[in-house]
Structure 1
């Protein structure tokens, strides 16, 4: 009984499949390109087969493979049926999309319950599960916008955004080079390094610590839309002004987190260092900085997203005719929404990779920390 309860997605998917049979065809009578009965039959068989398989005593890996093929095969055929028929999808179409999504959900659940055998299998599962989850966000987005005929100007489907990315690679590469490899990286390195150095200095000088922290909390609350135009006036329209905005945005999170981390070492450990006649710098290097590393990496991860946001928003207030923020602001004025979404998608991917690199560095550096020893 517990297995049947855990397989409720299959039961609901089968119910939706039966309900869709009463609502056929997939498209309305006014659709310019009718869908053949063969394609509809394959979709129904895939969903019904996947739903029934979820109740059988099949090994988890095999069941996950069956559900994966059934869910994604049906979704691919359903999206193909509305290609050229945007806005003409009937209720059967949306019922079958929902049934396919439930099979995809069940596939993820089965994969999450698998006990990996070895490091390689664990890595594959940790990558596969979020990949399937993310793919279904795109599938539902594509099916919803095409099936319901959402106006392109409001929300283009992912396929249109992907096509725009493929056709605009030189433009996107130039924008990434201007925004990421110039403004973001330079500002991130300088801002984080300056915040870390000032935190060490403030930790050493009590007077400075008591004066810097309140000001840091105040400055961290400054709105970027107020700082960005001032930096453009001070440093010009090129990437230097955007790097200055990134420095301002990344300096204070690093400062506050590092100061907090330097105070994380326990009193017993400090007493032990004093009993060894360690001076300030020896205690700092051998005890307090290692204890502060989780706080420092927390600031680095926060700043990895803040830097990207700061540089893009700063480009709204003045930039040469290149850059991700410049492209977003100009293309939205021309109603080229797919290009705007292409820039957003590229920024999201770069930001995720940036964050992931910092997270991997944290895992390699602070492997001894309890937050990393379990996973």
Structure 2
């Protein structure tokens, strides 16, 4: 037996067990799926599992498994309409079988060898896409199939519908929180931290005095700082940007100071033999060596900035903003809107982090961590 074939075998056994314990939904359900749709569902999952066990190329096997896993999951989720909370054990057995087929799909995709760099990149992106899709599928299955109360955890479909229906509100919230508070605070905080790090590297007194203070400030509770910033800078986005500046300044300072010390003594001695000045050594040796540390701080701050701005909006803001919307809607028990804001924030944070990571690959292409990736 091949190392990955057990998923298909277990999926086949689960399909047989589900067929022996029909129906998919309890007798109290509102709408029973047609026998034709149920037959197609069983045939699709079982046939995909069986065909994947035959000798064939990894690309063909991955394609068959992908169709069986996601086609079966789509049919199962489609059958939930009118049957929320009435899914029986066969329903969950079939969904587990589809999940196992998707698991093996990812295993096959990872082992596919391509001659094109573009194809290899596409396959590498397909793996996390399938993984993320199945988080949503299992989430949808648990909430709608098991009848989890909406107020505790809404299904992804309801969150997506809320996002589509609230695009103007979400657009205004994103503009207020991200394009004003987060970006302004991020640029000012990271820029100031970088500039002070260069100064601290030049003046030993600042380096010895600022770094311990930086560690202390990093431990300050954000919920204590945010109300003070609101009192100082008002209720608009400026106070949230101030919180972001505080949260991003010291990570950039500490990482940059550490990065400036990362160049080796032999390289520094070589620059001295060339009679290089401090600034020549800084620009041509020490800053390039510090770039991995600087980008590490930029990536850390990309998430801290978003969290800081959203939490700061809990303590006073105009009637717009992601933090304001979350605190207001949770009081009204509109949990789907809360989750919509969370989803948009997660998407924005991921894009922000991805842009910084791409810039890191372009700037530090020479670093072993980038060349090895």
Normalising by structure 1, what TM-score?
0.99
Q: What SS does the aligned partner of 2:109 have?
A: helix
Write the deviation string for residues 44-85 of structure 1: whole angstroms up to 9, x where unpaired: 111111111221111111111111111011001101111111
Unaligned runs of 5+ in 1: none
Tell me the CA shift for residue 243 of structure 1.
0.2
Q: What residue is the counterpart of 1:69 in the other structure?
A: 67
- CA–CA distance in 1 between the matches of 2:10 and 2:37? 22
Please provide the CA RMSD for this pair: 0.7
Q: What residue is the counterpart of 2:154 in the other structure?
A: 156
- CA–CA distance in 2 between the matches of 1:95 and 1:221? 48
Residue 327 (structure 2) aligned to one of 303, 313, 329: 329
- CA–CA distance in 2 between the matches of 1:6 and 1:312? 44
- CA–CA distance in 1 between the matches of 2:301 and 2:114? 34
Tell me the CA shift for residue 6 of structure 1.
2.1
- CA–CA distance in 2 between the matches of 1:40 and 1:8? 25
- CA–CA distance in 1 between the matches of 2:140 and 2:301? 32
The within-5 A match list for 1:31-110 is 31-110=29-108
Q: What residue is the counterpart of 1:227 in the other structure?
A: 225
Q: What residue is the counterpart of 2:141 in the other structure?
A: 143
Q: What SS does the aligned partner of 2:145 have?
A: helix
CA contact under 8 A between 2:174 and 2:322: conserved in structure 1? yes
Q: What residue is the counterpart of 1:372 in the other structure?
A: 370
- CA–CA distance in 2 between the matches of 1:56 and 1:194? 61
Residue 117 (structure 2) aligned to one of 119, 132, 135: 119
- CA–CA distance in 1 between the matches of 2:115 and 2:98? 29
- CA–CA distance in 1 between the matches of 2:79 and 2:202? 68
Residue 185 (structure 1) aligned to one of 163, 183, 186: 183
Q: What residue is the counterpart of 2:294 in the other structure?
A: 296
The list of structure 1 runs, each at least 4 consecutive aligned residues, that deviate by more than 4 angstroms after superposition, is none
The within-5 A match list for 1:269-308 is 269-308=267-306
Normalising by structure 2, what TM-score?
0.99
- CA–CA distance in 1 between the matches of 2:118 and 2:298? 28
- CA–CA distance in 2 between the matches of 1:312 and 1:227? 13
- CA–CA distance in 2 between the matches of 1:120 and 1:163? 34
Write the deviation string for residues 316-368 of structure 1: whole angstroms up to 9, x where unpaired: 00000000000000000000000000000000000000000000000000001
Q: How many residues get paired? A: 373
